[in-house]
């Protein structure tokens, strides 16, 4: 289905395009010299961090040397570098301008910085994945922290994606779990994408949504084999994550792959940047966030919308007071979120009233969407137990008491209609948050 959609006119009205070459399987990293020759690349620049240099960087350098291909390299001087201005600047300043391509060797942060570096240098980009841990391999954006705010920064999509299962199967167990966690988030993202189409007229493509559902099913079916490092299971998760990135490219936005659960993860990251508090891998946080959202959606499906309650709630909302709460939660990272409201106007009373009427009119449709897209929270709990993954913020060192305000703050991260915005529109945001 991935290849069938590429370049074809779609019923959604768009022509979807994705040109990267995806190479997966055992030993495929050894195809790198041939791939470089096909692309006319003479001298690549290798970007790693300290861990990924050991995991695959040394091997890639040896393969290139044996093939007579010169290269330069730079390893970010940390085991777990942050995706921020400092690390991007360091990579840019170490780039060898005699090189005609960037090869990122790693996963999340290395890949995000590699895409920015390639875009800045205006050269091709190849990623050699070292862990099936996140869905950014195929996306043309980089998840970065800028001025304390977590953003998706336009960068460069990969020209070649290499997923060698002999490398991927050696990834730390926590990275394997994180990859599956990032895929599980797609249950919520597809649900919220459909809801946004109904309520605010957002673009939606059913073919892209089905592509994501199929990838998630492959990953869920192979979950038990993941901890046993079965190549088929690991490859399924890696390919599912790649498909998630392809879906974002096809759609031209992040909707197919991220929703309210991702915003919860972003808030944990932002608080960590500002105050040095605990954080964990993105996919691990997204899995916990997905479980949180499934529980909240189950509570939402039990309510009966009340027009007067919703209108009264919106009129009593104090944006200045809420802004103060955001500043306390996130420090300077809150300022960009607060400033966004001037552009978005999501708290405007007239706009709220219009949305509310649509919600009331389409409530049964929304319930049907939730029923079709969302698994039971108990089933997700069982799956997380199967792979021995964390299920609560406390298990990853994050204050459990912050969960209600984290949820309420997800509505302010970006201009995307998610569960917390629906709860605000219904006048039950705090009520729902306090059930956590």
Which DSSP string corresponds to 219-266? HHHTHHHHTTT-HHHHHHHHHHHHHHHHHHHHHTSSTTT--HHHHHHH
Indicate the angle between helix axes 231-251 and 173-184, nearest 10 degrees. 40
Q: How far apart are CA 294 and CA 382, in angstroms?
A: 13
Q: How far apart are CA 312 and CA 331, in angstroms?
A: 30
- If DSSP states are collapsed to H, E and C, what string results for 125-173? EEEEECCCCCCCCCCCEEEEEECCEEEEEECCCCCEEEEEHHHHCCCCH
Q: How far apart are CA 85 and CA 147, in angstroms?
A: 8
Identify the pLDDT of residue 291.
Answer: 98
Identify the pLDDT of residue 196.
Answer: 98
Using DSSP, state whether 44 is helix, strand or coil.
Answer: strand
Residue 395, C-beta contacts closer than 8 angstroms, at least 6 positions apart = none
Identify the pLDDT of residue 7.
Answer: 67
Q: Where are the alpha helices (H) located in 222-376, listed in sequence order?
A: 223-226, 231-251, 260-275, 282-300, 307-316, 319-330, 333-344, 349-361, 363-373
Q: Give which of 2, 36, 290, 315 is closest to 162, Cα–Cα.
A: 36
Q: How far apart are CA 131 and CA 171, in angstroms?
A: 5
Instruction: State CA 331 to chain mean position distance.
Output: 23
Residue 111, C-beta contacts closer than 8 angstroms, at least 6 positions apart = 104, 127, 129, 134, 136, 137, 142
pLDDT tens for residues 169-194? 999 999 999 999 999 999 999 999 99
pLDDT tens for residues 191-240? 999 999 999 999 999 999 999 998 899 888 888 898 899 999 999 899 98
Q: Give which of 135, 137, 133, 136 is closest to 174, Cα–Cα.
A: 133
- Whether the CB-CB separation of 105 and 56 falls below 8 Å is answered with yes
Identify the pLDDT of residue 249.
Answer: 84
* Pairing, β 44-49 against β 21-25: unpaired
Which strand (E) or helix (H) includes residue 101? strand 101-106
The mean pLDDT values, 10 residues at a time, for the chain of 436 residues are 64 86 96 98 97 96 98 90 89 96 95 96 97 88 82 89 97 94 95 98 95 89 89 91 87 90 96 94 96 98 97 98 97 93 94 98 98 98 95 98 98 94 98 96
b vs e for 30-56, b when ≥16 Cβ sit within 10 Å of the residue's Cβ?
Answer: bbbeebbeebebeebbbbbbebbbebb
Identify the pLDDT of residue 87.
Answer: 93
Give the domains, in start order, of the chain with CATH numbers.
19-171 (3.40.50.1970), 181-433 (1.20.1090.10)
């Amino acid at each position: 289905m991935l290849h069938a959609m590429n370049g074809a006119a779609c019923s959604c009205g768009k022509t979807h395009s994705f040109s990267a070459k995806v190479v997966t399987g055992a030993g495929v990293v050894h195809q790198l010299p041939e791939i470089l020759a096909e692309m006319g690349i003479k001298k690549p620049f290798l970007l790693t961090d300290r861990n990924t240099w050991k995991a695959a960087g040394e091997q890639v350098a040896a393969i290139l040397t044996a093939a007579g291909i010169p290269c330069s390299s730079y390893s970010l001087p940390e085991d777990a570098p942050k995706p921020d201005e400092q690390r991007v600047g360091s990579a840019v300043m170490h780039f060898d301008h005699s090189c005609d391509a960037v090869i990122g060797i790693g996963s999340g942060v290395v890949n995000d910085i590699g895409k920015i570096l390639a875009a800045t240098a205006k050269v091709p980009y190849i990623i050699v994945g070292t862990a099936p841990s996140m869905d950014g391999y195929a996306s043309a954006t980089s998840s970065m922290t800028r001025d304390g705010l977590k953003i998706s920064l336009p960068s460069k999509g990969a020209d070649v994606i290499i997923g060698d299962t002999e490398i991927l199967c050696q990834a730390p167990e926590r990275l394997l779990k994180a990859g599956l966690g990032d895929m599980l988030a797609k249950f919520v993202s597809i649900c919220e994408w459909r809801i946004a189409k109904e309520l605010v007229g957002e673009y939606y493509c059913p073919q892209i949504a089905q592509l994501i559902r199929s990838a998630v099913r492959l990953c869920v079916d192979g979950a038990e084999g993941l901890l046993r490092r079965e190549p088929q299971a690991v490859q399924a998760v890696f390919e599912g994550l790649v498909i998630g990135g392809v879906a974002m490219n096809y759609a031209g936005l992040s909707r197919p792959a991220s929703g309210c659960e991702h915003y919860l993860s972003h808030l944990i990251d932002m608080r960590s940047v500002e105050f040095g508090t605990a954080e964990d891998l993105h996919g691990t946080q997204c899995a916990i966030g997905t479980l949180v959202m499934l529980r909240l959606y189950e509570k939402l499906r039990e309510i009966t919308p009340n027009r007067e309650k919703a209108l009264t709630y919106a009129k009593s909302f104090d944006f200045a007071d809420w802004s103060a709460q955001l500043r306390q939660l996130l420090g300077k990272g809150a300022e960009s979120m607060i400033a966004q409201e001037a552009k978005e106007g999501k708290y405007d009373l007239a706009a709220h009233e219009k949305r509310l009427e649509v919600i009331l009119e389409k409530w049964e449709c929304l319930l049907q969407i939730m029923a079709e897209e969302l698994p039971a929270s108990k089933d997700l709990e069982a799956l997380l137990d199967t792979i021995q993954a964390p299920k609560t913020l406390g298990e990853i060192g994050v204050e459990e008491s912050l969960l209600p305000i984290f949820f309420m703050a997800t509505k302010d991260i970006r201009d995307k209609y998610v569960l917390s915005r629906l709860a605000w529109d219904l006048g039950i945001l705090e009520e729902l948050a306090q059930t956590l």
